[in-house]
Every structure is written in structure tokens, then in C-alpha cells.
Amino acid sequence: MIVRAQSTCSRSEEIEGKKVVIKDRALYVQGPGLEDCHPFEGFYLEYPFHGTPIRGMVSTIARDPPELNWIYADRNDRRLRCGGKTVSLPHIAGPWDWEEDGKYMTLEDWDGFAALEVEPGRWAVCYDTDDDHLAAVRTGRQVLECSLERDPCGE
């Protein structure tokens, strides 16, 4: 998955065209200090949500031993994270899909993603559920609107 900045501010270049990686069970934009993190390798899988299946997203989170985790948006801080079903259930675990063109990812039928600077130069991938630039959680930190694009190389 590749991050596409939705603004032209001077900091957009920090996230534009970068891959998404997994570190400490959270999704980040690859950057300084994250070069050796596990790449996001997601695919759809039926998620058994309270008895009604929805389209979920899983990714490998390690190569050795190989392990899959559900991808979800944390209801508390809006960050995209990964974990087992029990961990993901209270959060937003789907439905995941693509926009009609099959290029950009959606969650709950919406391309509402943002990158939140969690420390200088380190960007967490978030779901902007209220379309307000993460007002409830940003606490003075930089937020950049973005889209999550299918990696054309499949890597």
C-alpha cells in the first residue's frame, strides 16, 4: 500500500509515495527509523463481526514465524492498528473495500485517511472518522490528509 498526500503543503512530500509499514502493531508511513519494519501486505478476508460477516482486512505482521492480524481503526485515537479478533472487535474493523476504480482503499465506504505526526518525522496512518483532520486526537500535531493506494508492484 502506498500513501498519496491529498494536499500540497510543504510537508506533504514526507508522506507522498511512501509505503505503509507495521511496527508495534500499528501502521506507519515508511520513513526515518522505520526502514526495516515489516511491510503492509494486506488482503481482504471475511470478518465475523457479531455474527454478520463483513469484508475485513488482514496483513502479515511477521515473516518468521508467519502471522496474520486484523487491521482496524482504533476508536480512541483513530490510528490504524493490527491485532487478533478479540482486540479488534470494539474498534472499526470494516467493511474495507476499494473505490470504484479499484485504486484507493476505503473503510466504511469512505476514503477518509490521514497521516498524524506522532513524533518528528514519524507519521501514523489514521482513519479520520469525523472528517475534521483528527481534531479530537491531534493535540497540536501536524495532520496531512491522504489516500491509501494499491501498490501497483504488489510489493
Q: List pLDDT tens digits, range 72-85.
A: 999 999 999 999 99
Cα separation of 36 and 9, whole Å?
A: 28
pLDDT at 155 over 50: no
Grid cell at residue 25: 502493531
pLDDT in tens, 1-35: 999 999 878 899 999 999 999 999 999 999 998 98
- Output phi, psi for 85, to 5 deg: -60, -45
Q: Are 67 and 60 in contact (CB under 8 A)?
A: yes
CATH of domain 2-149: 2.80.10
What pLDDT is recorded for position 38?
94
Contact of 127 with 110, CB cutoff 8 Å:
no
C-alpha span between 81 and 153 (Å, rounded): 23
* pLDDT, tens only, 120-154: 999 999 999 999 999 989 888 999 999 999 886 65
Backbone φ and ψ of 26, nearest 5°: -135, 155
Q: Residue 5: its pLDDT value, please?
A: 93
Helix, strand, coil percentages, rounded to 5, for the chain: 5, 50, 45
Cα separations (Å) of 154 from 70, 143, 149?
A: 19, 27, 11
